[in-house]
A and B are shown apart, each in its own frame.
Chain A
Amino acid sequence: MDLYFIAARHQLLELAAFLDRVERAEGTADFRLAALRRALPLLQRSRGPRVAKILTALSDSSRHPIPRATTKSACGACPPASGRRRAAKS
């Protein structure tokens, strides 16, 4: 607790500030915010592993290679049009 509590408190406030900032901003939130919100309850699990569960929740859970890479970047959450459905069709 002595080593990490202040840092954890800081990171929790940063997350809260991010959500407030998004709420104040103009424009429409996309799938990334929805994915983040879905992952938040995993923090409240009574037992771990919480990090692995959150990483898995934010991952593409499909199993087959996609037909073609159309971008080089990852965005941190699985876009609704990619992943499961597209790979399943391939």
Chain B
Amino acid sequence: MRYIEPHAHMVSRTTDDYRAMVAAGCAAVTEPAFWAGFDRSSVDAFYDYFCQLTDYEPRRATRYGLPHYCWLCVNPKESEDAGFAREVLKIIPEFLPRPTVLGIGEIGLNKNSRNELAILEEHIELAVKYDLLILVHTPHLEDKLKGTRLTLDVLKAHSKVRPERVIIDHVEEHTIAMVLEAGFWAGITLYPDSKVSPARAVDMLEVYGPERLWLNSACDWGHSIPLNVPYTAMEMRRRGHTVAEVDRIIFQNPCRFLRQSPRFEIPEVPG
């Protein structure tokens, strides 16, 4: 089995996780910028975090032979303070030429506030200006439906956003159709308590088909399972999906999206 983990917050994980992921067939990992679990107190703290994402973490992953890429942004959980978020946005262009930066993400909404929406729009402008891929976070639980609708409204209203270059992550059964029908990619996040279980993820694959879908664990500092992508592959096999169908959803699909960035390269891995 080979797979891509397109959404993992590896700065929060141990080297044991890297070892287990590579042993399970992980061929590349991409890491969106994220909330640390507490609000960072200064622009300098974000500067250090972006250095970690673009310098230290790729080197740590390399020790396990795993290509590591990243996405940069101010996470929506820290967008309510719009003035502060704008100060951080100013330093992001300095990091964009770094060789493992794929795009802007995970941007989006958290509580669906006006400031969060304004900062989302400014991130989209940044991505458009530098012709970067976009990775969108959709809110949790009761806020997801409204947040997904608001996010789609903003993206669809922007004349220069190309839906095929945007992945809208954390879709669930009540949001997946609106994302796919609008032409965007959809990410299914496999979480133990919130979001989606492996069985529900496979249900959605069976209902909506594999086109423009990827799976991710979004593992972070909370209750999460770094191997949930290969576990879901096992669930597909248990239900009778072929090896080729599994490979398409966990390897080829993320490769197809990510290769829209000329920076995304992985060593040839046999299928």
Chain A proximity of B131: nearest CB distance (Å): 28
B28 at the interface (CB under 8 A from A): no
Chain A proximity of B143: nearest CB distance (Å): 5
Asked whether A56 lies within 8 Å of B145 as measured between CB atoms, the reply is yes
Closest B residue by C-beta to A4: B199
Asked whether B113 lies within 8 Å of A69 as measured between CB atoms, the reply is yes
Asked whether A55 lies within 8 Å of B111 as measured between CB atoms, the reply is no
* Among B116, B146, B203, contact of A59 (Cβ-Cβ < 8 Å): B146
Which chain A residues lie closer than 8 Å to B77 at the CB level?
72
Which chain A residues lie closer than 8 Å to B114 at the CB level?
65-68, 90
Number of A-B residue pairs, CB cutoff 8 Å, is 83
User: Considering the chains assembled together, what is the distance between the CA atoms of A74 and B203 in angstroms?
Assistant: 25
Interface residues of A in 33-49 (CB under 8 A from B): 49
User: Considering the chains assembled together, what is the distance between the CA atoms of A78 and B112 in angstroms?
Assistant: 13
Which 3 pairs between the two chains have the least Cβ-Cβ distance?
A: A69-B111, A74-B141, A59-B145
Which chain B residues lie closer than 8 Å to A76 at the CB level?
141-142
Chain A positions 50 through 62: 1 when the CB is less than 8 Å from some CB of chain B, otherwise 0 = 0110011011111
* Among A61, A66, A75, contact of B141 (Cβ-Cβ < 8 Å): A75
Chain B proximity of A37: nearest CB distance (Å): 16
User: Considering the chains assembled together, what is the distance between the CA atoms of A89 and B141 in angstroms?
Assistant: 23
Chain B proximity of A65: nearest CB distance (Å): 5
Chain B proximity of A67: nearest CB distance (Å): 6
B interface, how many residues as a size bin?
20 to 34
User: Considering the chains assembled together, what is the distance between the CA atoms of A51 and B77 in angstroms?
Assistant: 27
Asked whether A65 lies within 8 Å of B113 as measured between CB atoms, the reply is yes
Chain A proximity of B202: nearest CB distance (Å): 11
Which chain A residues lie closer than 8 Å to B139 at the CB level?
74
Secondary structure of the A contact surface, majority rule: loop
User: Considering the chains assembled together, what is the distance between the CA atoms of A55 and B143 in angstroms?
Assistant: 11
User: Considering the chains assembled together, what is the distance between the CA atoms of A49 and B113 in angstroms?
Assistant: 30
Chain A proximity of B56: nearest CB distance (Å): 26
Chain B proximity of A23: nearest CB distance (Å): 23
Asked whether B174 lies within 8 Å of A52 as measured between CB atoms, the reply is yes
Given known A-B contacts A52-B173, A69-B80, A58 and B113 have beta carbons under 8 A apart: no
User: Considering the chains assembled together, what is the distance between the CA atoms of A69 and B120 in angstroms?
Assistant: 14
Interchain residue pairs with CB less than 8 A apart (21): A51-B172, A52-B173, A55-B172, A58-B141, A59-B142, A60-B112, A60-B142, A60-B145, A60-B146, A65-B112, A65-B116, A67-B113, A67-B114, A68-B114, A69-B113, A69-B116, A71-B111, A72-B110, A74-B140, A76-B141, A77-B142
Interface residues of B in 111-125 (CB under 8 A from A): 111-117
Given known A-B contacts A52-B174, A65-B150, A66-B111, A74 and B143 have beta carbons under 8 A apart: yes
Which chain B residues lie closer than 8 Å to A9 at the CB level?
none
Chain A proximity of B37: nearest CB distance (Å): 10
Asked whether A68 lies within 8 Å of B142 as measured between CB atoms, the reply is no
B239 at the interface (CB under 8 A from A): yes
Interface residues of B in 45-86 (CB under 8 A from A): 77, 80
Q: Which of A55, A59, A63 has the most CB of B within 10 A?
A: A59
Asked whether A51 lies within 8 Å of B111 as measured between CB atoms, the reply is no
Closest B residue by C-beta to A70: B111
Asked whether A63 lies within 8 Å of B149 as measured between CB atoms, the reply is yes
